A and B are shown apart, each in its own frame.
Chain A
Amino acid sequence: MGQITLEGVAKRFGEVEVIPPLDLTIEDGEFVVFVGPSGCGKSTLLRLIAGLEDVSDGRILIDGTDATDASPARRGLAMVFQSYALYPHMSVRKNIAFPMKMAGLPQDEQSRRIEAAAKALNLTDYLDRRPGQLSGGQRQRVAIGRAIVREPSAFLFDEPLSNLDAALRVGMRLEISELHNRLKTTMIYVTHDQVEAMTMADKIVVLQAGRIEQVGSPLDLYNRPRNAFVAGFIGSPRMNLFSGAVAAEYGAETVGVRPEHISVSAEGGKWKGRIGVSEHLGSDTFLYVEETGLAETITVRSDGEVSLRHGDTVWLTPNEDKIHRFDRNGDRIA
């Protein structure tokens, strides 16, 4: 079981309110991702749930019982830190055993769980090494192993992949997703990378300046962003946002069109522009179109076989059904 409920939880450091009161429910077994730009309070929120920071206001319920004042150890949660936070002078085996040793588990039960975790995480050959002798990805797996053996009611991940290189990151992303499918334990995952959020989450919580901007499934957020911030944050490359005359044409203060919802043609279309940079990825081509008079650049996603180059004149046509409209406050219209 691992249902976590936040009721009016707020955090202030002195006069500064980092997190205004917010409510959030995380269902048992859900994979929830907190995502937002740096400094948005997502890590603080995770630390509040972990109990490493005290809440200034509100209550935290874990499986229905009030855990607001419980010590981190009592909450039955396990955390994986960005720096891995392995104990450098202990072997991998002792690192993984540490929480069980602290809990006073019998020796054979400890060994059984260590073996199981090591097998699941491909660490069997490294059990007697020290963290300093492992690569980044292996250290990450040790940190996850240390969390698994506690059999927590929920896992908390604080930007666990930020210190890994791009290839490893994709691999670990898959491993964590597989782990979640196998264990079916609640996981809360903090990241600033919206690709990680989109690929892993059952539910994404978009945060900005400590406020929850939107909560929803990845496709919810992609298809119906509640405001201009979420629209601009979710999706890669970013959504094109226009204000002024184009927006007024659609009866809105701001309109947004995703790069994949603009078609490009060399013959004719709605908006005329010149290609500044074209990025050919093979599967896709990203065109950065300038001199449209609408925005500094418009990003367009086209298929991989486009032969347009820098300096070519093109016409762009947005897919009218896929235009997002936002009012003066940035909130979605209809």
Chain B
Amino acid sequence: MATRQTASLARLMRAPAIVLLLIWMLVPLGMTLYYSFLNYNLLNPTNTSWAGWFNYQYFYTDPAFWESIWNTLVLTLGVLFITVAGGILIAMLIDKPIFGQGIVRILVISPFFVMPPVAALIWKNMIMHPSYGVFADIAKFFGAAPIDWFAQFPLFSIIVIVAWQWLPFATLILLTSLQSLDGEQMEAAEMDGAPALSRFIYLTLPHMARAITVVILIQTIFLLGVYAEILVTTNGGPGFASTNLTYLIYRAARLNFDIGGAAAGGIIAVVLANIVAIFLMRAVGKNLD
């Protein structure tokens, strides 16, 4: 009896939070859905009418649509690959006791504290710039022609910037996982005749599987929505070479003032994100239980 009362009381107590979260999620989603079926342009806001599926058809037939989806995938997978592989390497390096370990760890983590537009601007103006950038200086030192990164390799440049920002996160999560690896297991494997590479493959990697899963899941959520780095560097160009889905929606809403079209793009993005989420949970989610 007492437990049933406690249970219903608990349900009552947590109801406000759940209701708030529901409103928080349902209202924007509902409004986006609603707008996506309207002819609604900010240049002419009074002339609003029912559009049916037109906005979806318009967004879907946009020549940039498939390119932006491809770019989103390349960007997400590229950054995931660099951060997970790089994160494992750096985590294993700074797990070793070295002089100035505390400072080294703070330095490794610090890029995470720089906000995305600032990081992108630093990369754009100080590192990748064809005349002032560090890369240009290095190229000139070796007598090579400097590369105009954002013109020649726009998507790759953005992948590098975003990966630089997310590498600390991956490193941190993987480092904590690495630190919980039992030393006696490693010694046992050493006695069993396993060389360093085998110990890494058979012990370290399986031990880190769960942390790697967490890194992939969390990063994917954020990487599908990369936007600021594109805005301040390439503006999605040249052409649509560095436009991802998020940026395409931004173009519709803020450059074409087409609220209806942008809302339709948003709903497509939500559907795609959920498809990716289902695949991810299937593929790596089993590591989480």
Contact = CB atoms under 8 A, between A and B. Distances in A.
Interface of A: 50-52, 71-73, 77-79, 81-83, 85-90, 98-99, 102-103, 146, 150
Interface in B169-186: 182, 184-185
Contacts of B209: 89
Given A52-B191, A98-B192, 10 more contacts: A81-B187, A81-B188, A85-B185, A85-B187, A85-B188, A87-B203, A88-B185, A89-B206, A90-B202, A102-B194
B191 A89 contact: no
Contact of B184 (A71, A83, A150): A83
B193 A77 contact: no
Nearest to A74: B193
A72 B191 contact: yes
B207 A50 contact: no
Interface in B95-134: none
A102 B199 CA distance: 10
Given A78-B191, A99-B193, A85 B198 contact: no
A87 B202 contact: yes
B62 interface: no
B190 to A, nearest CB: 5
16 contacts: A52-B187, A52-B191, A71-B190, A73-B191, A73-B193, A79-B187, A79-B188, A81-B187, A87-B189, A87-B202, A87-B203, A89-B209, A98-B192, A98-B194, A98-B202, A146-B188
Nearest to A77: B191
Contacts of A102: 192-195, 198
A87 B185 contact: yes
Interface residues on B, range: 10 to 19
A103 B193 contact: yes
Interface string B183-225: 0110111111111001000110011010000000000000000
A300 B49 CA distance: 103
B58 to A, nearest CB: 51
B191 A98 contact: no
A98 B189 contact: yes
A154 to B, nearest CB: 12
Nearest to A82: B184
Contacts of B198: 102
A72 to B, nearest CB: 5
A89 B181 CA distance: 12
A99 B187 contact: no
- Counting from the closest, the 9 A-B pairs by CB-CB distance are A73-B193, A99-B192, A85-B188, A85-B184, A102-B193, A89-B206, A81-B184, A72-B191, A102-B194
B188 to A, nearest CB: 4
A79 B202 contact: no
A255 to B, nearest CB: 44
A51 B191 CA distance: 8
Nearest to A83: B184
A81 B184 CA distance: 7
Contacts of B195: 102
Contact of B191 (A79, A87, A90): A79
Contacts of A51: 191
Contacts of B202: 87, 90, 98
Contacts of B206: 89
A50 B206 CA distance: 26
A103 B193 CA distance: 7
A72 B194 contact: no
A90 B206 CA distance: 9
A38 to B, nearest CB: 17
A88 B206 CA distance: 9
Contacts of A81: 184, 187-188
Given A85-B182, A87-B202, A89-B207, A73 B188 contact: no
Contact of A73 (B182, B185, B192): B192
Nearest to A143: B188
A63 B191 CA distance: 18
A82 B184 CA distance: 9
Given A89-B206, A98-B202, A50 B191 contact: yes
A301 B206 CA distance: 55
A51 B188 CA distance: 11
B97 to A, nearest CB: 14
Nearest to A104: B193
Contacts of A83: 182, 184
A99 B189 CA distance: 8
A88 B184 CA distance: 12
A52 B192 contact: no
Contacts of B203: 87
B207 A72 contact: no
Nearest to B188: A85
A236 B185 CA distance: 35
Contacts of B194: 73, 98, 102
Contacts of B192: 73, 98-99, 102, 146, 150
Contacts of A78: 191
Contacts of A71: 190
Nearest to A149: B192
B27 to A, nearest CB: 44
Given A87-B203, A89-B206, A98-B202, A72 B185 contact: no
